A and B are shown apart, each in its own frame.
Chain A
Amino acid sequence: MTLTKVSEFVRPRNLTEAFSLLEEKKARIIAGGIDVILFPTPAERLIDITALPLSGIEGGEEGVSIGATTTMTELLESPVLRGYLNGAVCEMLRQVASPLQRNLATVGGSLMIGHPWSDLITLFLVIGADVTYFDGEEHEVPIDRFYAENIHRRRVILTGINFPAVRRGTAAAFIKFSRTAFDIALLNCAALVETADGRCTAARIAVGGTPRRAKLLVRAAAELAGKPLSEEVVVQAARAAQDEAEVGDDIRASADYRRELVGVGVYRVLSRIRERLEGSA
């Protein structure tokens, strides 16, 4: 449907120009543009940043840098991401929306909008990703701080996302519960576990679409510290996650149902990580 409020569509030549256009009046950055159409705002000026050099994927096991306007399809088809963290990013993206939408949707657009059901945010939290953004100067902040401080609601241009290097003995997994293949998540879960000599040296667990935006479950992750990733430990961590997660009701699912899903989801992602660690050992 036509966005009747929009009176101007501009393609800036560089970030500085894009940012100054953003400051002047009711303006909104547009990349893939899905949310600009599905969730219209009173914006009168749309600033298309897809012509700027903000697209691309670089790196490997030593860390990955992704430009903000890289599409989800480009991420899914990237050999770099297939080789990073046992392909966990691709595992997640295959469950996001439909291929038609993934051909449009950009990683930056998805993070900047920050829907509470976002599958990307849940996984990127456990990866320990950093978000880069521009507000006249460049900034880089951990993704949990990016949302905790509501930076995505400020007048900023998200420029990219960086994943850290992966140590040996590390694996991650993601799971999404939804009614149909590309429906919005009823709940999603992700975990990353680092091990040395068969014991967990670091772990992060996150659940999203609770129905609020994903958060790290610190106490549940602490259940794993120093222990081997046994069936018993996985069950304990899943129980701790159920206690810790803040879940609520909305149109998609009840709080009770979501609490059950937290337990099942965390159990499954940790079990999958266990298989992956055993498979790579």
Chain B
Amino acid sequence: MKIAVKINDVQREFSITPGETLLELLRREGYKGVKKGCETGDCGACAVLLDGRAVNSCLVLAAKVDGHTVVTVEGLEKNGELAPLQEAFLDTGAVQCGYCTPGMLIAATDLLAHNPDPSEEEIKEAISGNLCRCTGYVKQVEAIKLAVQRMRGGEDA
């Protein structure tokens, strides 16, 4: 079957089988920032924005996104500039092995789009579906706080 999807602001068409997942489709089409981890919705490495909300792409059938909008980590930068969240992850040392990073960035993007001034608890809750085995999560929480501060204009914080 054929589907039409807007991915990272580009309208695309794909031939898919009705039973394949969005994760499989995206990686086949070269969106390798979408990581394959557990394939059971537990690790969050495959997270993408579907109509603006962060979801596990391993738990979404590709057929379901026909007519919808998907953003992968590749789509977070604008005009060659990293998004404030991406910059903050680099500056804070929140990127170590990097496998969880795309999913964390997607989850955090959803959070800040719906709650621009989250508490630490809200940040932790937002990334609770994203497993990281390097950092112990401290750096990612710091990075998201830093991005919040920068987006509100407090560059030096």
Contacts and interface: CB of A to CB of B under 8 A. Distances in A.
Contacts of A99: 54, 107, 110-111, 125-126, 128-129
Interface string B35-59: 0000111001001001001111011
A100 B55 contact: yes
Interface in A84-99: 94, 97-99
A20 B56 CA distance: 31
A193 B110 CA distance: 37
Contact of B17 (A2, A32, A48, A98): A2
Nearest to A37: B59
Interface in A1-23: 1-9
Interface in B28-84: 39-41, 44, 47, 50, 53-56, 58-61, 63-64
Given A33-B64, A37-B58, A101-B59, A73 B53 contact: yes
A73 B129 CA distance: 14
B21 interface: yes
A30 interface: yes
A37 B44 contact: no
Contacts of A73: 53
A48 B65 CA distance: 11
A104 B59 contact: yes
Given A6-B19, A98-B128, A101-B41, A30 B110 contact: no
B63 A98 contact: no
B117 interface: no
Interface string A48-89: 101000000000000000000000010001000000000000
Contacts, number: 94
A34 B114 CA distance: 23
Contact of B21 (A1, A46, A50): A1
B1 to A, nearest CB: 7
B129 A4 contact: no
B18 interface: yes
Contacts of A104: 50, 55-56, 59-60
Contact of A9 (B24, B55, B61): B61
Given A7-B18, A98-B128, A100-B44, A2 B24 contact: yes
Name, among A5, A46, A94, the residue most crowded by chain B CB atoms within 10 Å (CB to CB). Answer: A46
Interface of B: 1, 17-21, 24, 39-41, 44, 47, 50, 53-56, 58-61, 63-64, 107, 110-111, 114, 125-126, 128-130
